[in-house]
Amino acid sequence: MSNNEKDFVKEVTPQAEDFSQWYLDIVLKTEMMDYAPIKGCMAIRPYGYAIWENIQHLLDRRIKETGHKNAYFPLFIPESLLQKEAEHVEGFAPEVALVTQGGNEKLSEKLVVRPTSEAIICEMYARWVQSWRDLPLLINQWCNVVRWEKNTRPFLRTSEFLWQEGHTVHSTEEEAQEETLKMLGVYQEFLENELAIPVIPGQKTEKEKFAGALKTYTIEALMADGKALQAGTSHNLGQHFAKVFEIKFQDKDDELKYAWTTSWGVSTRLIGALIMVHGDDRGLKLPPRVAPVQVVIVPIITKKKRDEVLLRSKEIAEELRGIGLRIELDDREEYSPGWKFNQWEMKGVPLRLEIGPRDLESGGVTAVRRDTGEKSFLPSESIPSQVPLLLQEIQDTLFRQALEFRKRKTFRPVDYNEFKRILEEDRGFLLAHWCGNSRCEEEIKAETKATIRCIPFDRDPEDKGPCLYCQKEGQLVYFARAY
Amino acid sequence: MSNNEKDFVKEVTPQAEDFSQWYLDIVLKTEMMDYAPIKGCMAIRPYGYAIWENIQHLLDRRIKETGHKNAYFPLFIPESLLQKEAEHVEGFAPEVALVTQGGNEKLSEKLVVRPTSEAIICEMYARWVQSWRDLPLLINQWCNVVRWEKNTRPFLRTSEFLWQEGHTVHSTEEEAQEETLKMLGVYQEFLENELAIPVIPGQKTEKEKFAGALKTYTIEALMADGKALQAGTSHNLGQHFAKVFEIKFQDKDDELKYAWTTSWGVSTRLIGALIMVHGDDRGLKLPPRVAPVQVVIVPIITKKKRDEVLLRSKEIAEELRGIGLRIELDDREEYSPGWKFNQWEMKGVPLRLEIGPRDLESGGVTAVRRDTGEKSFLPSESIPSQVPLLLQEIQDTLFRQALEFRKRKTFRPVDYNEFKRILEEDRGFLLAHWCGNSRCEEEIKAETKATIRCIPFDRDPEDKGPCLYCQKEGQLVYFARAY
């Protein structure tokens, strides 16, 4: 390793030294984002945005395959509309941005910049839903939302963020519940297969549910520092919004009935999850399915063989682009190969192909995996078949590693003391009995900063035990400190 | 035609009676949009939004093929940033929405909801551009913007709208000018080939140029009522923004120089253009390349042959989906075929396939074109080859019809009197000599509501004549009343 290269790696704070600083070093130095001159806001730079575009592309397909269509609703919500649903306004009013002036005039009614769109969408749905024939109404939108956050962190919590929010209307309670769980399932499958992030699906407690929801479901992921991240939520809104916004329909039996609604969303926070689940001290490690660059080709240029090496590099780049892969050919001559290796490793490119005079002679390329560091030689004729296989292996390995990490970091403390000790030493998920009382939940949070992440779907109803806090009989839930 | 069907068509005001009302009838009744309870804002419903998604998909590809990458910048711009460029703030300040409160507190500085993003983007670019190696910087963003408009009309002019805005930085004036014209060319090619809308490319006058630009270029389209629509613009911003935002770079000669910037955009206004260029009294006529539904299949269900007809309809739908077409199979049994024909005609679906017992017997389907009303019989085996050909023919016909209409509606008035007469009787484009003086331009606008749409690229410099207004020697420009 040359001095240059050491400096390069040194730019990133090691995870073990300061995970939080490591995260900030990564997002800035890989040029995923930059801070903007507005409190808590960021500019998402092309390298970060390309990940979001891949997420959008892969998730949008699933949203459409499950029968939803995209639409677009206004950015602004009249304050009076937000106030209609009591719990909803209580949850969101403290963190909204308000427009009070428009076109040089003071507005007669303040406009809320949407923190989420239930209010404006339900207002429109009340007009569009008349009969059972109009149901189910299955709509999604991709947009920006604003929540005036006190403590912000790039991608994880920003005053403005990008997301998708699905909003559906159904004629029966059962159908709304089915939709709520179906979309949570879509999120789980999407995170596990595309982002290589294993998640625990479950229900939120009353205390942690969405403001205005009947029931909130969540998928929870574990970051490399042992903290949990809520990666996506799906809400059964019951008839709460239908009743205050008057979403009614003439049913087949000719009766006028209130409808049942749901909403569900994931956001640019997923980019933060990708970074914190897979990254290491050398930088990002992006799963091939969402990596902006799946393969970087680095020609090892020597004076003698310069043209041959460059020509062969271009041929391989074209060949791989031809089979639909996202390829970067880094033929800049002002940087050394070693410098480029480090840079592309930091940017988390899953696979590097090196092509030098010796590779030319041997009739192939050297392939280096970002996940394991493993090197292999690929004979020319095998490149178009081997590269996709290697990428699939990397995708699978990242998922397996994350799953193994989560298993290793999931604990079953025997009592509250052990619970607190684990939180201090290891963090991770703590599967423990809880009596179901919000009071215990709140005390535990106040004393340990750990919250109930979810009541898991797969808990064994027979597995009962004393509540971590009050000793009354309880059932298993996942606790963790969380982002 | 049954009574029912007559009523259906009657719902739309004829163009000749009231073009403006025809337009509003169409956008509401085809469920492209609905009015929202916020002044000048609308909800874009799935049928309208699907057109926008197709536009995004087809244009985004072109933006990327020309070397640009997507990114995302904040929605909010501190008021002081917007004020940096004098002409820019003068142009936009009167129509901005202002956020003055966030998270229950009064903000120390008001935030402008972006009306366009030059200010915030240039602020970020000043940090990212250091050396000639960082140039050109070629970034685009898809987002929402807000301009507090007094007179609004769905898609054409709304307080919030969706668009893309490209923002680029270059090391030389020549390169910035080349980029500006290149992107105008991309817009022209995109509108003509995908939206089937012929446009006239040219330069805006000083009076009509973008607030803060050195030069603004435009593509101008002619609507069916003879009014012009500015369909896209591309601005050479000179060093105006680079100087006030301090976008400087170390050039190859080691000197520190101000950069040159450009910006260019098209918006959801293009959906309005599609409606007004191609639509007729029966409704929309969508070009196949951007139609949400390219082919609707309507089974003609009779008691005897119900199952056979439905089965065959499904087979054909699957076959056509298999070759990548967007297909709707309308097998609802609560509506008559006639009602469906009308509905899908109103929605502008380019091609209808009817499958009834007689078609089954003859071993094929009846195809009906939306553009010409022409019917033809397609034998089963020819469907997968003939349908794409028919769609291409419809695409070509729509463009040709629009081009012929524009030619017919382009006039060369001999004097100001004829100019005024044509504007009253025919509207259309008026190609007339203009001396270059803003004063004449303003007087003409005040007296006739006609503005100079553009100084066309292809004008013959030898074709000189007396200015329409002052009789001094002038050159040819396009005048029109415009949206």
Is pLDDT of A44 > 90?
yes
Size of interface A-B (CB pairs under 8 A): 162
Q: What's the pLDDT at A304? A: 87
Q: What is the pLDDT of residues B303-316, one digit of tens each?
A: 889 999 999 999 99
Q: What's the pLDDT at A11? A: 82
Any A CB within 8 A of B403 CB: no
- Of all residues in chain A, the percent with pLDDT exceeding 90 is 94
The pLDDT of A15-32, averaged and rounded, is 97
Q: Do B101 and A100 touch (CB under 8 A)?
A: yes
Average pLDDT over chain B reads 96
Residues 6+ apart with CB under 8 A from A41: A158, A159, A160, B74, B75, B76
Contact (Cβ atoms closer than 8 angstroms) between residue A317 and residue A329: yes
Q: What's the pLDDT at B383? A: 97
Hey, which bits of B319-395 come out as E strands? 327-329, 351-355, 364-369, 375-379
Q: What's the pLDDT at B10? A: 63
Residue B452, CA distances (Å) to A385, B216, B435 in order: 59, 13, 12
Contact (Cβ atoms closer than 8 angstroms) between residue B230 and residue B220: yes
The pLDDT of A439-462, averaged and rounded, is 97
Rounded to 10 degrees, what is the CA torsion of B410, B413, B419, B424? -50
Q: Do A99 and B76 touch (CB under 8 A)?
A: no
Rg (CA), chain A: 25
Q: What is the pLDDT of residues B166-219, one digit of tens each?
A: 999 999 999 999 999 999 999 999 999 999 999 999 999 999 999 999 999 999
CA A36 from centre of chain = 22
Is pLDDT of B422 > 60?
yes
Contacts with A149 from chain B: Cβ below 8 Å: 103
- Rounded to whole angstroms, the Cα distance separating A101 from A105 reads 5
Q: What's the pLDDT at A8? A: 55
Q: Among partner residues B36, B93, B113, which is closest to A120 by beta-carbon distance?
A: B36
Is pLDDT of B4 > 80?
no
Q: What's the pLDDT at B334? A: 86
- Rounded to whole angstroms, the Cα distance separating B222 from B191 reads 12
Any B CB within 8 A of A28 CB: no
Any A CB within 8 A of B97 CB: yes
Q: What is the pLDDT of residues A100-118, one digit of tens each?
A: 999 889 999 999 999 999 9
In angstroms, the first-to-last Cα distance of chain B is: 36
Task: Provide the shortest C-alpha distance from residue A266 to chain B (in Å).
Answer: 17
- Rounded to whole angstroms, the Cα distance separating B325 from A313 reads 37
Residue of A nearest to B142 (CA): A143
The pLDDT of B393-408, averaged and rounded, is 98
The pLDDT of B269-292, averaged and rounded, is 98
Q: Do B99 and A99 touch (CB under 8 A)?
A: yes
Q: What's the pLDDT at B1? A: 41
Residue of A nearest to B101 (CA): A98
- Rounded to whole angstroms, the Cα distance separating A168 from A458 reads 26
Q: What's the pLDDT at B2? A: 47
Residue A481, CA distances (Å) to A230, A420, B301 in order: 11, 11, 61
Q: Do A46 and B69 touch (CB under 8 A)?
A: yes
Is pLDDT of B8 > 70?
no
Domains of chain B: 7-278 (3.30.930.10), 295-393 (3.40.50.800), 410-480 (3.30.110.30)
Site from A55, A98, A334 to mutate, B interface, most B CB atoms within 10 angstroms: A98
Contact (Cβ atoms closer than 8 angstroms) between residue A216 and residue A235: yes
Is pLDDT of A208 > 50?
yes
Q: Do B36 and A148 touch (CB under 8 A)?
A: no
Q: Do B334 and A39 touch (CB under 8 A)?
A: no
Contact (Cβ atoms closer than 8 angstroms) between residue A352 and residue A344: yes
- Of all residues in chain B, the percent with pLDDT exceeding 90 is 94
The pair of structure tokens assigned to A120 is 């404006």
The pair of structure tokens assigned to B66 is 């020309």
CA A478 from centre of chain = 19
Is pLDDT of A3 > 50?
no
Q: What's the pLDDT at B3? A: 46
Q: Please report the DSSP string for A198-245 in residue order.
A: --EEEE--TTTS-TT-SEEEEEEEE-TTS-EEEEEEEEE-TTHHHHHH
Q: What's the pLDDT at A10? A: 63
Rounded (10°) angle between helices B416-425 and B438-448 = 40
Q: Do B49 and A36 touch (CB under 8 A)?
A: no
Task: Provide the shortest C-alpha distance from residue B365 to chain A (in Å).
Answer: 28
Angle, alpha carbons B51-B53-B56 (nearest 5°): 110
Q: What's the pLDDT at B417? A: 97
Complex prediction ipTM: 0.96
Burial class (CB within 10 angstroms; exposed 0-12, middle 13-18, buried 19+) of A146: buried
pTM of the predicted model as reported, rounded to 2 decimal places: 0.96
The pLDDT of B401-409, averaged and rounded, is 98
Q: What is the pLDDT of residues A50-102, one digit of tens each?
A: 999 999 999 999 999 999 999 999 999 999 999 999 898 999 999 999 999 99
- Rounded to whole angstroms, the Cα distance separating B104 from B330 reads 51
Q: Which residues pair with A236 in a beta bridge?
A: A215, A262
The pLDDT of B39-62, averaged and rounded, is 97
Q: Which of residues 306-335 of A touch B (CB under 8 A)?
A: 334
Contacts with B43 from chain A: Cβ below 8 Å: 71-74, 120, 124
Contacts with A77 from chain B: Cβ below 8 Å: 38
Phi, psi (5° rounding) for residue B88? -60, -50
Q: Do A71 and B102 touch (CB under 8 A)?
A: no
| Per-residue confidence band for B11, with pLDDT thresholds at 50, 70 and 90 | confident
Contacts with A101 from chain B: Cβ below 8 Å: 97-98, 100, 110
Q: Do A97 and B120 touch (CB under 8 A)?
A: no
Q: What's the pLDDT at B191? A: 98
Q: Do A76 and B160 touch (CB under 8 A)?
A: yes
Contacts with B101 from chain A: Cβ below 8 Å: 97-98, 100, 110
Any B CB within 8 A of A252 CB: no
The pLDDT of B148-162, averaged and rounded, is 96
Q: What's the pLDDT at A2? A: 47
Q: Do A101 and B101 touch (CB under 8 A)?
A: no
The pLDDT of A393-419, averaged and rounded, is 98
- Rounded to whole angstroms, the Cα distance separating A155 from A32 reads 10
CA-nearest of B196, B210, B129, B126 to B165 is B210
